[in-house]
A and B are shown apart, each in its own frame.
Chain A
Amino acid sequence: MIEALIFLVLTIIKIGVVVGVLLLIIAYLIWVERKVIAHMQVRLGPMRVGWHGLLQPIADGLKLIFKEDIIPARASKVVFVLAPVIATVPALMAIAVIPFGDTISIFGKSIDMVITDVNIGILFILAVTSVGVYGVILGGWSSNNKYSLLGALRSSAQMISYELSLGLSLIGVIMISQSLSLVDIVDSQAKYWFVILQPLGFLIYAISAIAETNRCPFDLPEAETELVAGFHTEYSSMKFALFFMAEYANIITVSAVAVTFFFGGWRGPYLPPVVWFLIKMALCIFFFIWLRSTYPRFRYDQLMKFGWKILLPVALLNILITGLVIILL
């Protein structure tokens, strides 16, 4: 009974800390992105609110809460209100199975630095994040706006197309580690990182992850020159903020999965594991922002052709090569 109570309290503390840190990272990620892109374009970015604009996320949040909450007259109201929730909830949930540190012991009780170690961890992440596409398509459809509908259709077609190669790119790692649990996958990288054994798999993962999160150069759903703002054209106030949060939470999730699968997770010398995990994740996220300020946007037919005709066969080839190498060794 006492055991169960301790387990419950520990879980709630862990969830509180992880969700709190996640939301803080999301808030400051927006500031980091604006700053990094500004400096890459020889501008200063936000400077007014706080030292070098450090309080900008708080100001933005307050502004969005006090904004008028518009529900268009011709929208399907229930779906319109639910869509941002459907987009945000899975995006914030995927973090549950990602290990961010080694097991530590406090007062003789060992605590895993992961909310829960499910033995099908990566399937859970793929399943939960693919629910996010419903938020996008329901949001776009219920707005009853042509731009929103077109943006939502494009976005969902893109997301489901690249989900295939995303799923296939991780199979090589699973064949080596023989487990779907993310804790086991980090453990099997004690000697070397899987990016060395699976360079092609990592490349495919990186490309499909960028496409999955609708980021530049795959940001067609928000191609503002043709679609205004894509599926969230009609959204305002906190509903818009929730879509925004979902996008950044997805970036954090795919970066965390990349670190866990290909860069040895929290493993690293000298510094504490949690610090290593955060450093590696920050570098992945920086790569996302760097891409955005460097590359122009794809054309839609190029995007779909690339996903189906190149990425999918190459991902299957990667599995075949991995399979042959495992047998020969």
Chain B
Amino acid sequence: MLISYLPILILLLVVMGFAISNIIISALIGRHKPTAEKLSPYECGVEPIGSARERFSVKFYIIAMMFVIFDIEVVFLYPWAVAYKSLALFGLIEMAIFIIILLVGYVYIWKRGGFEWE
């Protein structure tokens, strides 16, 4: 069965070779006349103010954490879905209990305004 992953490995090498060679070729044959203005960050033609490495909204961290929690749920659902017809009602109740526990957290996030963006 492991042999079916060999083509994927070959494809990975082919595609990586394609992407990297594209970058190398354009770096070799493109023109190079760097100036200080050209290499400065683009800020609509105005002198750049400060660095871009600043703090950003905590909202993005919260989204990332919620993603991890709910993505694990999705991953659990996949093997369950494959075996669903043999599990039948037992499987449905089992998964319903698991999802209801998660939904308690979901409702809590909703009530605390985790999905709001101002």
Contact = CB atoms under 8 A, between A and B. Distances in A.
Contact of B116 (A144, A149, A164, A301): A301
A150 B52 CA distance: 9
Nearest to B27: A69
A14 B7 contact: yes
Nearest to B36: A73
B42 A67 contact: no
A5 to B, nearest CB: 13
Interface in B6-33: 6-8, 10-12, 14-16, 18-20, 22-23, 25-27, 29-33
- Give chain B's interface secondary structure class: helix
A19 B11 contact: yes
A22 B106 CA distance: 40
Q: How large is the interface on B (under 10, 10 to 19, 20 to 34, 35 or more residues)?
A: 35 or more
A238 B26 contact: yes
A93 B7 CA distance: 11
Say what secondary structure dominates the interface of chain A: helix
A182 B92 CA distance: 24
B97 interface: no
B77 A323 contact: no
Interface in B75-103: 77-78, 81-85, 88-89, 91-92, 95-96, 99, 103
In order of increasing CB-CB distance, the 8 nearest A-B pairs are A238-B26, A301-B117, A73-B39, A116-B7, A167-B74, A174-B81, A160-B67, A145-B41
Given A144-B52, A167-B74, A237-B27, 17 more contacts: A15-B11, A19-B14, A65-B30, A66-B29, A68-B31, A92-B18, A146-B43, A153-B56, A157-B64, A160-B71, A164-B67, A174-B82, A178-B84, A228-B44, A242-B23, A304-B115, A304-B117
Interface of A: 7, 11-12, 14-16, 19, 23, 64-74, 81, 84-85, 88-89, 92-93, 96, 115-119, 123-124, 143-150, 153, 156-157, 160-161, 163-164, 167-168, 171, 174-175, 178-180, 228, 233-234, 237-239, 241-242, 300-301, 304-305, 308-309, 312, 316, 319-320, 323-324, 326-327
